[in-house]
Amino acid sequence: MANKPLILVSNDDGITSKGIRNLVEVMQQIGEVVVVAPDSPQSGMGHAITIGNTLRLEETKIFGDQVKAYECSGTPADCVKLAKNHVLKDRTPDLVVSGINHGSNTSISVLYSGTMSAAIEGAVEGFPSIGFSLCDYAHDADFEHTLPYIKKIAEQVLNTGLPKYTTLNVNFPPKRNEALKGVKIVRQAHAKWQEEFDQRYDPNGRRYFWMAGNFVNHDKGEDNDEWAIANNYVSVVPCQFDLTAHHTISVLNDDWDIKVD
């Protein structure tokens, strides 16, 4: 294994999900695989980390004897942090991959996604990182059509690298009768969830709310991830964790006049 790249695998659907099993099997074809993933589903956790509570980490043989694997009680970001600082210790991963997520992480979902937060945490540490998602929420979703692309994209990143502090958000259309048309390097679509909160009451008469709503795509362009998925392409969006609106700095400096006497 000394000559093979070291690949760290995580996710947000939990270590027992079908998606991560498929991802581990593909990564085993490329390098030495170490898994640190949540012990239960952590979807929608975003980049949350565990503060003021215990974190538990237990070794597991869920992927067989050839894969060092650990299940963690924390969030996806916790998993990558523990992997770097405890599991791998003095070793540096050549690649961090997260997924394969059961469900889309296109457009605004990147901000809420635990899958992408694991990948972004890898980028924070300076590791080349990729998050993979399939636009199918079924627990028994068919990932077969994604696997050749996942291998090729991972190998491409290992061979050519990524700009530092950058991660890739890769989304796949669900399995259809026609083959995937290829890969599109695109931007994040201008789309969001329009939430609705259904007010309900539990058997004790206490009020609670159940979040629902619809996904609204405001983007009419053909250079974004929503268009790519709708047209049966694999979408690849380069992402960064620097949220500074750089173009606004000069605007504020020119237009604002804030002086305190």
Place of tokens 């390097």: 185
- Describe the chain by its helix, strand, coil percentages, rounded to 5: 25, 30, 45
12 is in an annotated binding site: yes
Report which of 81, 128, 115 is spatially closest to residue 10, judged by C-alpha positions.
115
Question: Cβ(128)–Cβ(139) under 8 Å?
Answer: no
Sign of CA dihedral 154, 155, 158, 162: negative
Neighbours of 216 (CB within 10 A): 11
Q: How many C-beta neighbours within 10 Å does residue 123 have? A: 24
Q: Is 202 annotated as a binding residue?
A: no
Rounded to 10 degrees, the C-alpha dihedral 156/161/165/166 comes to -30
According to the annotation, is 43 in a ligand binding site? yes
Give yes or no for a cis peptide into 7 (omega within 30° of 0).
no
Tell me the CA distances in angstroms from 183 to 32, 39, 145, 153, 195, one per residue in order: 26, 32, 13, 10, 31
CA-based end-to-end distance of the chain? 66
Q: Check the annotation: does 225 bind a ligand.
A: no
Helix (H, G, I), strand (E, B) or coil at 85: helix
Nearest Cα neighbor of 97 from 217, 219, 6 is 6
Task: Report the binding-site residues for a divalent metal cation.
Answer: 12-13, 43, 101
